[in-house]
Structure 1
Amino acid sequence: MQEFDVGLAAYQQTTTHAQAATADPHKLVVMLIDGFLDEMARVEGHMKAERYMHKGKSISKCIEILSGLDSALDLQQGGQVADNLHNLYDYCAQTLFQASVDNDPSQLPAITNVMENLREGWLMIGSKAS
């Protein structure tokens, strides 16, 4: 069964890389947010199951994704929108960090809600840009 899991993970990673290589910027942001949301579900599961090492790895992945999204912002040219996104990403990272320290999954839905709303916004922008 482990060989299957390794093969499946490799296939999923290859598929993700292929999608990213051909995606427009809006789609890339949505893909990152989707990855973030998937990892957030793992964070919650690890917290509830008291798998602290796995929780830490998943939280690190989430923070890396938030950092990547934030670093792509052009704060000089992006105006208020870029500032607001920066603040939202920072809020999510800070809340996620505090949830980890407190080992409190009740703090996670606020983060997930923010990111789901951002995802919907990026989907709407992407559909209008196409």
Structure 2
Amino acid sequence: MFLENGYDSYQQVDLDAQAASASPHQLVVMLIDGLLDEIERTRGHIAAGRLEQKGTSIAKSMNILIGLDSALDMENGGEVAENLHQLYDFCQMELYQASLNNDLERLTNVERVMANIREGWVSFGQHA
């Protein structure tokens, strides 16, 4: 148990260090990676019947999506910001339905959408 807590602490320190030196594009990719990891945990919780942990994972995933959405510059972001807003909203609805119905297919939908958005951010970051 102690080793596991130590490892978790080490991972958090490493993540904090990465975030401190990351560009805005890298931060978005890190958030999306965290979301995708959390969705995978949600999948495991649903499969194992751990409903309380599933609820916690869904809430974490929703919070990440809300954070991503709130960072959008709707005034200056034009069509791209509006499209991302709609996709984040879609993902939140899918997570809600996944939680209500323990629906793994809804989680897959979110994973697909967010993997595509992640790919776009990674490409954009390489050209910026």
Q: Same fold by TM-score, threshold 0.5 exceeded?
A: yes
After superposition, the C-alpha distances for 1:72-100 in whole angstroms (9 at most, x for unaligned) are 00111111100000000000011101110
1:31-50 aligned within 5 A = 31-50=30-49
Matches of 2:106 and 2:73, distance apart in 1: 29
Q: Which runs of 5+ in 1 are unaligned?
A: none
- Other-structure match for 1:79: 78
Write out per-residue CA displacement over residues 12-70 of structure 1, whole angstroms, 9 at most, x where no aligned residue: 11111110000001100000000000000000010011100110111111000000000
* Separation (CA, whole Å) in 1 of partners of 2:41 and 2:19: 22
TM-score by length of 1: 0.97
Letter in 1 for 2:91: C
Give 1:108 deviation, angstroms.
1.1
Gapped regions of structure 2 (runs ≥ 5): none
- Identity over aligned residues, as a percent? 53
TM-score by length of 2: 0.98
Kindly report the root-mean-square deviation, in angstroms, between the aligned alpha carbons of the 2 structures.
0.6
In the TM superposition, what are the counterparts of 1:16-31 in structure 2 within 5 Å? 16-31=15-30
Residue 105 of structure 1 deviates from its aligned partner by 1.1
Distance 1:55 1:76 in 2: 35
| Equivalent residues, number | 128
